[in-house]
Structures are given as C-alpha cells and as structure tokens.
Amino acid sequence: MTLLHSRPARNTSSSMSAQHYVYVLSLATAWMLAGCSGEKMSGGTPIAAKQLDTGTPVALIAAEGDFALVETTDSERFYVNLGVLKSRNTATSDQEGSHTHVLSTVTAAYADEPPDALPEIEPRPVEEISKEQLTLNRLYMTEKTHRHIIAPTNMGLFVDEVTGENVWPACTCYNPDCPKKGTDSDPHLFILFDRSKPPICPACVEAFQLSGAGQEELAPFLRWTRPYELEEKKRRVKQLDAERKRAYRAKKRSK
C-alpha cells in the first residue's frame, strides 16, 4: 500500500511552530505504525491508514456518532472525525466536482472501521485553534431574494456571484413568544442590514410594536436575536473548545 506522507516541513520560523509540528506528528505516527490499511493494535483498536490534509475535498457517504464515512476524489473511502467536515463553499458560482465537504484541519483517516471513540491527540497552539475556528462555515443570505449561502465565517461582507446582491449573515430568534418561532429543522431566519430599524427579529418588531421602543424594552429582544449557527459549526466549536483547554493546560505544564 502507498502511504500518504506529510509534506516537507518549511522553515519553522516562517510557518510551522514546534507545537503544530507535534500535532501533525501525533496524527502521522499512528498510521505509520500500522504499516498497512486497516491494521489494528494488539488491543483491537483500529489504526489510521492515512492522514488527510486541511482542505481535502470529500463526499459524505454516511455519518454515525463521532465519525463520518467519506470518499475522496481518488475514490478511496475512509472514516474520519465528523467534526472536521465543512460543507462546500456555495458563495462561488464554480461548483465543479462531486464533493460535498472539505476538511477544516489535518485529520486521521481509518480504512475499515473507526475507533470506538475519537482519539485524543496533542493540542495545537491556541493561535492555530482560533485560526481554524474563524474558517468554520456560517449561513449567509442575500439581501433581496434571501438565497442561502454557506461560506466561512471570516468572509466578511461580500456580493453574491449568482444574484449580484449584497450578502449578510443569517440571524434567528430565540424569543419563546416570537410569532414566527421556528424549529431546529426549520428555523426562522432573517438578515439585519437596515440601520434605521432596531437590530432585532423583524417579526417581533411588528408583533410587539417595537419600532419606537426604548433600550429597556428592547433589551430582551436584543438578547433573543442572535447569529444563526450551523450544526456543523456547533459540533466543531465544541471540539475546538476542548482542544483549547488542553492547550492551555499543556502550556502551564511547560512553564
């Protein structure tokens, strides 16, 4: 079997920190020890056959628990951490290829079956963790037609290539009495771009006559109006928060 080798390390002063190198090495070591796809340790735990790079395009086949079965552009199938799957960017009109997702970071890939649980790896530097979090997807909507667009959080404001409209982050309302209260599968979504109106749920503004309300009356509605978070982002942020805590602990121990 041909193993996927890590790319040659560049000058560490300009690219990879020592901690990041340890992070990548911890992923690489497992599959290097295996020697072949699908081999297991003596205790029966599957060993990764490869490591897949950040940005690798994959097609999601199935998902169960913490793992996803994906297919690469080389028609190879692997089990990977479900949390690192990012839906493909739909902000561009170029949608060539059959992939549905890309990987948000370097990840271990298991050929025959995944482990019972995600293995704990050496944490990356906090800066690396925060950088990845900024690249996670969020939902945007176009200003007039409300076309849904999935793109990285750090895209900022941009113009939709398909409609030519301005694009804004999608928001939702958590007011239990909102007249358009949605569900997890069908959330009430809207955008806030008109600075002449209160930055709160438009349905609540109309239903509770809040156009001329003061700050005290608006306060609870401001708390209920929040950016809409994709399930994939919430899943990954939970993992990143746990990794960030491990990174802080490791940093304290090293002092």
Q: Tens of pLDDT along 187-213? A: 999 999 988 888 999 999 999 999 888
| Structure-model confidence comparison of residues 111 and 23, the more confident one | 111
Rg value, the chain, Cα = 22
Compute the average pLDDT of residues 213-231.
95
pLDDT the model gives residue 6: 33
Task: Say if residue 168's pLDDT is above 50.
Answer: yes
Q: Tens of pLDDT along 26-69? A: 554 444 444 444 455 545 678 888 999 999 999 999 999 999 99
The pair phi, psi for residue 66, each rounded to 5°, is -90, 0
Q: Which two tokens stand for residue 121?
A: 């790896």
| Structure-model confidence comparison of residues 134 and 12, the more confident one | 134
Classify the phi-psi angles of 48: left when phi > 0, otherwise alpha if psi is within -120 to 50, otherwise beta.
beta
Compute the average pLDDT of residues 65-93.
94
Q: Distance (Å, rounded) from C-alpha 110 to C-alpha 48? A: 5
pLDDT the model gives residue 20: 52
Q: Distance (Å, rounded) from C-alpha 41 to C-alpha 33? A: 9
**What is the band of 92 on the pLDDT scale with cuts at 50, 70, 90?**
confident
